[in-house]
Amino acid sequence: MPLAPTDDIIGPARAAGTGVGAFNVVQIEHAEAIVTGAERAGLPVILQISENTARYHGSLAPTALASLAIAGSAAVPVAVHLDHAESTELVEEAVELGFTSVMFDASKLPYDANVRATRMMTDLCHRADVWVEAELGEVGGKDGAHAPGVRTDPDEARAFAAATAVDSLAVAVGSSHAMLTRDAALDFDLIARLRAALDVPLVLHGSSGVDDADLAKAVAAGMTKVNISTHLNKLFTATVRERLEESPGVADPRKYLGPARDAVAAEVARLLGVLAGR
């Protein structure tokens, strides 16, 4: 199946009041597992590559080209998204490589500077028919200060979306990046008010810290795109650790990366079902 435009996945889900899973790719096994899980669930999915991952690999292209190839051969719609990009050059590279969407993160800047920088990226991406996500009210867990308890204001969010012409907005509603426990306390009333205030889909970052019941409630309240990374990485690493403990003399990485890939695929299929309301 050809690579899917991100809006072709997000738009119908928002209209139906269901959620879409967006899972981060760190290495090729992640991309393979995520697409396998989506095929097993019979649901679309979004592969995400973050600026941090591009930095880890030394450049964006290797992971991106592998992810684009895997997405293009999938049996379900798959989009490829650049996550948390702060670099203009990286956004430009993602557009050139064929990403279907980018998340430009200027949330650490003062509001007016965030608007200017984001609008510049939106104009650039829209000329190439690339969908744009931005963030307002920095989600915790990233480098940089973010006062505990900060939330996205619905009126400010409406003004920001209009000024920047973004296609979706990541909002701060109580989740935090890189959580190892699933006990984040989301503000469901705020999610509903943001959904009512905005004409663009809402994105929940830091969803690894949200349990299944609250993920479903967040989607019901108005979230559409749900980003999950740490939860899958935790499962991947635990499976690798178990296999190495069982067979300490193993040398072939396929012997422990393969089972980790399988475990992530099963969890992706399950989570997609949760988000789709199955």
Contact 186, 195 (CB under 8 A): no
In the prediction, which pLDDT does 141 show? 44
pLDDT-based confidence at 37, cuts 50/70/90? very high
* 83 catalytic residue (yes or no): yes
In a domain, 139, yes or no: yes
Query: How many residues make up the chain in this entry?
Result: 278
5-14 average pLDDT score: 97
Per-residue pLDDT tens digits for 50-66: 999 999 999 999 999 99
Q: What is the pLDDT of residues 128-139, one digit of tens each?
A: 999 999 988 655
The residue-averaged pLDDT of 9-20 equals 97
Range of the domain at 98: 6-275
Within a domain: 268 = yes
Is 1 contained in some domain? no
What pTM does this model have? 0.92
* 124 inside domain: yes
* Predicted local confidence at residue 182, as pLDDT: 61
Domain count, the chain: 1
Q: Which of 7, 8, 83, 143 is catalytic?
A: 83
Going by their DSSP bridges, the two strands 101-104 and 202-204 should be labelled as: unpaired
126-159 burial by CB neighbour count: b if 16+ within 10 A, else e?
A: eeeebbbbbbbbbbbbbeeebeeeeebbbeebbe
The answer to the question of whether 30 is labelled as a binding residue is no
Known binding residue 189? Answer is: no
Mean pLDDT for the chain overall = 91
Q: What is the CATH number of the domain that holds 218?
A: 3.20.20.70
Q: Using the 8-state DSSP alphabet, how is residue 208 labeled?
A: G
The reply to whether 72 falls in a domain is yes
**117 domain-assigned:** yes
Q: Is 126 annotated as a binding residue?
A: no
Per-residue model confidence as pLDDT tens digits over 183-206? 566 889 899 999 999 999 999 987
177 has binding-site annotation: yes
Q: Return the pLDDT at 187.
A: 86
For residues 3-12, give the mean pLDDT: 97
Q: How far apart are CA 183 and CA 241, in angstroms?
A: 24
Residue 81 counted as an annotated binding residue:
no
